[in-house]
Amino acid sequence: MTFRKKPSAKSSAPRNQSKQHKRVPKTTLFDDLKKRMEACSTAEKLNAEVVTPFIQALVTVSDARGYVLNIYGENCNLAITPEDHAEAIFQVIEDYLDQSGLV
């Protein structure tokens, strides 16, 4: 899927003047998160300052849209579940990792 910006009204500035301004690259979410993560000196600080707020925002948006998320990839999985399921799911994952010899 691609998104295109709606055409805007023509600028009143002459064409050659608008090209003189250097464009500042946008900071991406990846860049911002990476910078914030690198600033955290401990796992606890990383969890408190980056991971937990990100997950809270993800859960808030997901709940509002009626989503139940299970994001999986080659290196990690993320399941968003009701709070009362979290401990049981954590234990299932721990048991699996122990049995598989991955940890």
* Distance (Å, whole) CA 98 – CA 93: 9
pLDDT digits (tens, 9 = 90+) for 27-86: 899 999 999 999 999 999 999 999 999 989 988 888 888 887 777 888 787 777 777 888
Task: Give the predicted TM-score (pTM) of the model.
Answer: 0.53
Give the confidence band of 19 by pLDDT, cuts at 50, 70, 90. low
Residues in Cβ contact with 80 at an 8 Å cutoff, skipping those fewer than 6 apart: 55, 58, 59, 62, 67, 68, 69, 70
Q: Compute the distance between CA of residue 23 and CA of residue 75 in angstroms, rounded to an integer.
A: 36
Q: Report domain extents, the chain.
A: 27-67, 70-103
